[in-house]
């Protein structure tokens, strides 16, 4: 089978990870990366041997001045690709949609864009099938992906009635700390529900869910607290077994010393994951509590990493190269060392 060629627009926090993940797959290849930056960030792509394209004329000038050897412009890249993954900042990708539609190229957006930009929002374990052979989809954001993974596992076990969650959101990505992240404060999101609950409903409209969110002054990851009403009285074992049906939830324990988001980060760095990335939702098994039909738990979401495997699965769904969600997820997991002790 001919490998599908994938274009990557926006080589930032998410884009550089998606590019490496594409390069690891045996059924697709990275056609090239396209950006406006000309500093150390794009030099990484050059060093990795990726073909680099300039998104704008200004970018072309500055990249050439920085000595970057260009393979062409954005139109050139789209011309050699079967599908484009757009990882540009919020709202930029929405503007690119018209270009993709005009060229008739399939496209994937990230969670900063609205559901309406594609009319389909994606979360592999929930709705892979409905994305098959579509022209476009949007991989929901990091928080929403974690919510869908955990609640879908409970739903598939027939246990989910309703869910209420409080999200502690990291203030900014680590490399951008110097640009003005918050300090010595907590900044609650004004609206209840915060946008992640309704966003999860864009994938699964049946979910009875309310989220609240607060921005906290650290950069490592998000932390969620959930209170779930179950369909019936259950015991802890049943709930744990439900979570274990997801290959992208990892159960962790306080008793192992994993007592905070920084200790979890260190573990993933020790495991040799690129950037110490944790693609899984790390859910505390020994903290989890069930009282009658009420369930309480907390987990950590590596916001920079969690949507990477989802994006790879979205590529397989849209191109139709794999019809089975289970097979795609398994293939992606294997390539990234997910559910394999994290060893690559």
**Residues at the site binding ligand X15, with contacts judged by CB under 6 A:** 111, 141-144, 169, 196, 303
The residues that bridge with 338 in the sheet, in sequence order, are none
Q: How far apart are CA 198 and CA 147, in angstroms?
A: 11
CB of 32 to ligand NDP, least distance (A): 12
Q: Of 32, 111, 165, 337, which lies in the binding site for ligand NDP, with binding defined by CB under 6 A?
A: 111
Choices 81-89, 199-207, 254-262, 291-299 (CB under 6 A): range interacting with ligand NDP? 81-89
CB of 13 to ligand NDP, least distance (A): 4
Beta strands in the chain (DSSP E): 4-9, 28-35, 52-54, 72-73, 83-86, 106-109, 121-122, 136-139, 160-170, 187-188, 209-216, 222-230, 249-252, 281-284, 289-291, 294-301
* Residue 110 in contact with ligand NDP, rule: CB under 6 A: yes
Cβ proximity to ligand NDP: between 145 and 285 the closer is 145
CB of 150 to ligand NDP, least distance (A): 17
Residues 107, 84: contact at Cβ < 8 Å?
A: yes
Contact letters (x/-) for ligand NDP, 36-55, by CB under 6 A? Answer: xx-----------------x
Site residues (CB under 6 A) for ligand NDP, limited to 144-183: 173
Q: DSSP string spanning 49-108? A: T--EEESSHHHHHHHHHTT----EEHHHHHHT-SEEEE--STTHHHHHHHHHHHHT-EEE
Q: Rounded to an integer, what is the distance from CA 15 to the centroid of its chain?
A: 11
Residues 6+ apart with CB under 8 A from 232: 159, 293
Upper half-sphere CA count for residue 146 (Cβ side, 13 Å): 30
- Residue keyed to tokens 């396209």: 34
Cβ proximity to ligand NDP: between 155 and 169 the closer is 169
Q: How far apart are CA 319 and CA 297, in angstroms?
A: 37
Cβ proximity to ligand X15: between 165 and 342 the closer is 165
Name the active-site residue from 142, 220, 230, 249.
142
* Residue 188 in contact with ligand NDP, rule: CB under 6 A: no
Reply yes or no on whether 142 is catalytic: yes
- The pair phi, psi for residue 13, each rounded to 5°, is -55, -50
Contact letters (x/-) for ligand NDP, 200-239, by CB under 6 A? Answer: ----------------------------------------
* Residue 85 in contact with ligand NDP, rule: CB under 6 A: no
* Residue 18 in contact with ligand NDP, rule: CB under 6 A: no
- Residue positions annotated with a catalytic role: 142
Binding site for ligand NDP (CB under 6 A): 9-15, 34-37, 55, 87-90, 92, 110-113, 141-142, 173, 303-304, 307
């Amino acid at each position: 089978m001919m490998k599908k060629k994938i274009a990557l627009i926006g080589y930032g926090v998410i884009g550089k990870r998606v590019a490496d993940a594409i390069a690891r797959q045996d059924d697709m290849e990275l056609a090239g990366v396209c950006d406006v930056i000309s500093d150390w960030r794009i030099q990484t792509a050059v060093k990795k041997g990726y073909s680099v394209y300039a998104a704008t004329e200004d970018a072309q000038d500055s990249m050439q001045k920085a000595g970057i050897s260009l393979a062409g412009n954005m139109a050139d890249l789209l011309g050699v690709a079967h599908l484009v993954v757009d990882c540009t900042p919020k709202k930029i990708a929405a503007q690119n949609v018209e270009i993709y539609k005009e060229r008739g190229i399939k496209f994937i957006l990230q969670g900063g864009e609205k559901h309406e930009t594609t009319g389909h929002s994606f979360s592999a374990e929930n709705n892979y099938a409905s994305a098959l052979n579509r022209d476009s989809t949007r991989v929901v954001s990091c928080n929403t992906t974690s919510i869908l993974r955990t609640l879908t596992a409970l739903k598939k076990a027939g246990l989910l009635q309703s869910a209420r969650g409080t999200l502690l959101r990291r203030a900014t990505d680590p490399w951008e700390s110097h640009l003005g992240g918050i300090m010595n404060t907590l900044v609650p999101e004004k609206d209840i529900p915060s946008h992640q609950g309704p966003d999860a409903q864009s994938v699964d409209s049946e979910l009875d869910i309310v989220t609240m969110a607060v921005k906290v002054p650290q950069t490592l990851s998000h932390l969620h607290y959930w209170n779930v009403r179950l369909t019936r009285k259950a015991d802890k074992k049943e709930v744990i077994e439900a979570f274990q049906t997801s290959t992208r939830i990892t159960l962790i324990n306080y008793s192992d010393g994993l007592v905070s988001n920084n200790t979890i980060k260190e573990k993933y760095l020790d495991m040799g994951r690129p950037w110490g990335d944790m693609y899984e939702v790390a859910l505390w098994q020994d903290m989890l509590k069930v009282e009658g039909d009420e369930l309480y738990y907390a987990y950590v979401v590596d916001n920079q990493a969690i949507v990477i495997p989802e994006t790879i699965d979205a590529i397989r769904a849209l191109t139709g190269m794999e019809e089975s969600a289970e097979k795609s997820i398994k293939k992606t997991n294997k390539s990234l060392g997910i559910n394999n002790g994290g060893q690559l």
